[in-house]
Every structure is written in structure tokens, then in C-alpha cells.
Amino acid sequence: MKLAVAGLLPADLSKVDDEVAWRVRAAGFAGCSCFFADPTAWAEAALDRLRDTLHRAGVAVAQVNAHYECLVHPDASLRRQGIATLQAAVRVCQRLQGDNLYVRPGSMNPNGHWLPHPANHAPETLDRLVDSLQRVAAVAEDAGVTLALEGHTVSPLDTPQIVREVIDRVGSPALKFNCDYVNFISGVQDVYHSRRVIDRLFDTLGDVTWAVHAKDADIEDRHVLHISEVVPGRGRMDLGYMLQRFAAARPEGFVIIEHLPDDKIPEARDALLRAAEAAGVIWSEGES
């Protein structure tokens, strides 16, 4: 199991140099997440330079992320655009020798991929998602790239069972699960008893879990109910137990810190290292 980070890199990845790469490694990370606003715009030579620069410092591309149109969009032409862009991101991930390509399911809400909408949970929305994923997975299989699909309680993939259904319907060995356990918190008891959420995810999806987004959550002292993401170690998630379950599922996988400004990343890293030590989980690379 290896520790990685979404952060510590310039927004313009063409500016990643040896100093940047070594700074990521010196911070205790064996991998990083690389985001591409337009994966179609990158030449192979530029991707090779980025990959080689990171590799010289001992930093792997733990995850490739990209901007693309919604995979469940009811407008067929826009959905085709999303599929085509994600297929281009597959080729980026292949060139970078990335561990996986992150996949978001999208939302019927026009304001954002991770925003609620009643139609997110309609059968026809899932049908469109399955079709989109099958088209991307066919390219990923040919390229030898793993797709890491994420869910969220407000998204079409709102429960572990629905994630499982979609992965099984797509039927591709290239399609796996990106476990962002905080995304599946749907109430007070899930926060106070986080092992229940973690167990539901790993009991249902452990055999297809490929990567983890390491986050934490807590309940704010505000009406009516506000569950907020917080820096790992400040919330109520059982980080040690999560690491135990993931280490059993994919011992060589990446645990990726995300959603934090660079100045908060060391605190999150240290919390995960402490949690792993207390839980008896051993990192294969990237320890501080």
C-alpha cells in the first residue's frame, strides 16, 4: 500500500520539473494525482517528459483525472463528447503509466457533476451511464488502463449495491472502484459509526476496489444537518480501519490524499501515518 497526493503540483503540469517532483517525494509521497483540463491537448512528447520527470524522483502517477462532459447527459451529442474526451484521457493515462484513470459518473444537475438531482436515481440515467462506461472501457481494455469509478450518495451511484450493479453490467475487467468512503455518508449514524460505511463498501466492492481517496468528515453544530469534509485526523472516520480493509483488498494500491490546500497536506499525511501505525498497517513506499 502506497501513499499519494492530489496536490503539491502546479496547475499547469507542463511546469513540473525535477525540483517539483523531488519536493513531492521528500514530502513522503510515492505517487501523485495528475489533472488534465483538456486531455486531448497533450502531445506524447510532453506526456513522456512529465512521466520521466516524476519517475526520476521516485513518484508514480497514482491517478489521472480529467475534465469531460457528463456521462449521463440526456443530450446524446454532449454525452458522446464526454465519452470521447474520457477515451482521450485513457490514452494519457497509458502514456503516463498511471495506476488508474479516475471516472466520475456525472449528474443530471446542470450545475455540477457532484450535485443532487431527482433524476440521478432513475433507471434510464443508470442505463446511459452503463452505455458510456462500456464505450470507454473498450478503449481502456485495449490500452491496458484501469478505470477507477467513484460514487456519491447524491450521484447516480448512491449506494455500494448500485455501484456493484453498474460495474457488473458494464462487464469489463478494466472497470474498478475508487473508494471515497466519505462520499457514502448519508446521515448522522454514518458519521458516528463510520465502520458501518467502510464495511458496506468493502463487503460489497472489496474485490474490485482499486484506489482510495483519504478524507475525513464530522457533523457541524448547525441546524438542520451539516456533514462536512475535514482534514484527515480532525473528523470521526476510523482511518485505521479503512486502511486495514484496503490493505486486505489491494495491498499494492494507492491511498490518495485529496481536496486539501498544500499547507494542510502534511497534517493529513501525518494523521494517516499515525492511523496506519496504530492499526498495524505497513506502507510499502512513501513513508515520512
- The domain ranges of the chain are 2-279
Cβ atoms of 29 and 283 within 8 Å: the answer is no
Can you give the pTM of this predicted structure? Answer: 0.97
Q: Is the pLDDT of residue 52 over 80?
A: yes
Cβ atoms of 254 and 212 within 8 Å: the answer is yes
In 3D space, the residue among 74, 110, 70 whose CA is nearest the CA of residue 86 turns out to be: 70
Measured in whole angstroms, the distance separating CA 279 from the mean position of its chain's CA atoms is 23
Per the CATH hierarchy, to which homologous superfamily does domain 2-279 belong? Divalent-metal-dependent TIM barrel enzymes (3.20.20.150)
Q: Is the pLDDT of residue 286 over 60?
A: no
Determine the pLDDT at residue 287: 44
C-alpha 273/C-alpha 240 separation (Å) is 9
3-state secondary structure of 206: helix
Strands, E assignment, the chain:
2-5, 31-36, 60-66, 101-103, 147-149, 175-179, 209-214, 216-219, 227-230, 254-257
Q: Residue 81, class by beta-carbon neighbours within 10 Å (0-12 exposed, 13-18 middle, 19+ buried)?
A: middle
Cβ atoms of 130 and 170 within 8 Å: the answer is yes
Measured in whole angstroms, the distance separating CA 287 from the mean position of its chain's CA atoms is 21
C-alpha 174/C-alpha 101 separation (Å) is 10
Q: Is the pLDDT of residue 279 over 60?
A: yes
Residue range 10-31: average pLDDT? 98
**Residue-averaged pLDDT of the chain:** 97
Cβ atoms of 52 and 59 within 8 Å: the answer is no
Q: What percent of the chain has pLDDT over 90?
A: 98
Residues 6+ apart with CB under 8 A from 283: 1, 2, 3, 273, 276
- Phi (first) and psi of residue 137, to 5 degrees: -65, -35
Q: Residue 154, class by beta-carbon neighbours within 10 Å (0-12 exposed, 13-18 middle, 19+ buried)?
A: middle
The per-residue pLDDT for range 2-15, each reduced to its tens digit, is 999 999 999 999 99
C-alpha 193/C-alpha 236 separation (Å) is 8
Determine the pLDDT at residue 69: 97
C-alpha 34/C-alpha 46 separation (Å) is 13
Q: Where are the alpha helices (DSSP H) in 183-251?
A: 188-192, 194-205, 239-249
